[in-house]
Structure 1
Amino acid sequence: MLLFLDVDGPLIPFGATDRPYPRYEAAAVPPQAVTDHPLLSRIDPALGPRLAALGCELVWATTWMDDANDVVSPWLGLPPLPVVEWPDEDEPPPLLHWKTRPLVDWAGDRPFVWLDDEITEADRAWVAAHHRRPVLLHRVEHSYGITDADLTAVREWLRTNSRSM
């Protein structure tokens, strides 16, 4: 089971108007890790073990590309993760997110979860029509990032769909 993970929005919250952003410090970051990124402290390092505990193969699906492994993975206490390389392609069909088709291609015949803050019903409909394995496209509220409720939704989906994978 793959879990495609975006950085901006799901891990680094932005746009909140009702509260200040929390600030975190990572417990143990390797000395060679990049820790001076101005938004890094918005990422809760406890998310790393919680994401790993889902039992999925975590994959970066972000415009951060390999920088996610240099900056975000060490902060979260995760090893380097595979990175989706975004192809140069034509514009997606109207309303479809530009990541949707490349993620379905990258997944191949594997089931997957996609955590992103820009997923729409158009993406869900397109994936349902073009991918025959179980899929969860879960939209994370960018103002708050991944919450307990988001992780609970993923765990429930994994539990419910584990028999059909």
Structure 2
Amino acid sequence: MRPLILLDVDGPLSPWAAPRHAKPAGYVEHQLKVSRWGRRKLKMWLNPGHGPALLALAGSADAELVWATTWEHQANTLMGPAIGLPRLRVVEFPGEPAEWKFPAVARFAAGRPLAWFDDDFDTFPQARRGFVARRGDLSTELIAVNPRTGLTTEHFDALESWLRGLKTDRPDVGSPES
């Protein structure tokens, strides 16, 4: 099965906790129209280089990029175009999950290796440990992102290293014959 690369928006792609006077390098301010906000617009920093970099890494290992954000389908219309991502599948989070995103991601990613960028893995540490334990031998890379910086070179390096490890474990991943 194709590996998954899961993307959260707030924190990894939009460094919401960065000081307002110190926009991280490479980020561009966007004013996004959010339907439920009426005329008010959401100011969000996004890095247009992230989309092509994520697409290249996913392509190198025939991995599938998927939104794993509480923005759900709005990520395809608001954030994806701003960073050059095509429409992606979405992990849906119905209601307020008692254990955050872990149950929905577990259902969505059943049987598939995954790397996941998020800034909130420590919100529910017991649920995180249970999630990883239940995945057993499936390769699972939780890449914690500081919401003050968003994705950095180190995060992309971690993803690339994980993808290389998958190729070692699964010679068919990324090969021309697959």
TM-score (norm. length: structure 2): 0.76
| Cα deviation, residue 164, structure 1 | 2.7
Change (3 A) 1:124 1:159: farther
Q: In structure 1, give the amino acid aligned to 2:152.
A: T
Task: From the two aligned structures, give the one with the greater strand fraction.
Answer: 2
Q: Which residue number corresponds to residue 30 of structure 1?
A: none
Letter in 2 for 1:127: F
Indicate the residue corresponding to 1:64 in structure 2: 71
Aligned to 2:160: 155
User: What residue ranges of structure 2 are gaps of 5+ in the alignment?
Assistant: 34-40, 171-178
In structure 2, relative to structure 1, the CA distance for the partners of 1:13 and 1:161 (3 Å cut) is: same
Question: Which of 5, 12, 18 matches 1:16?
Answer: 18
1:142 to 147, 168, 171: 147
- Whether the 8 Å contact between 1:2 and 1:107 is mirrored in structure 2 is yes
Question: Is 2:98 aligned against 1:104?
Answer: no
* Identical columns (%): 37
SS in 1 for 2:143: strand
The 3-state SS of whatever aligns with 2:151 is coil
Question: Quick one: which amino acid aligns to residue 24 of structure 1?
Answer: V
Shift of residue 77, structure 1, vs aligned partner: 1.2
Is 1:131–2:135 an aligned residue pair? yes
Deviations, residues 78-98 of structure 1 (Å, cap 9, x unaligned): 111101111347623xxxxx1
- Contact residue 11 and residue 146 of structure 2 kept, 8 A: yes
Partner of 2:121: 119
Letter of the 1:44 partner, please give it: N
One-letter code aligned to 2:54 = L
Verify the 8 A CA contact 1:84 1:106 in the aligned structure 2: yes
Deviation of 1:104 after TM superposition, in Å, equals 1.3
Question: What's the CA shift for 1:127?
Answer: 2.5
Question: What is the root-mean-square deviation of aligned Cα atoms in Å?
Answer: 2.4
Q: How many residues are paired up?
A: 152
Whole-angstrom distance in 2 between the partners of 1:161 and 1:123:
25
- Corresponding residue for residue 53 of structure 2: 50
Instruction: Quickly say closer, same or farther: Cα 1:51–1:90, change in 2 above 3 A.
Output: closer
Structure 1 unaligned spans of 5+: 27-33, 93-97
1:38 aligns with 2:45: no
Distance 2:129 2:96 in 1: 21
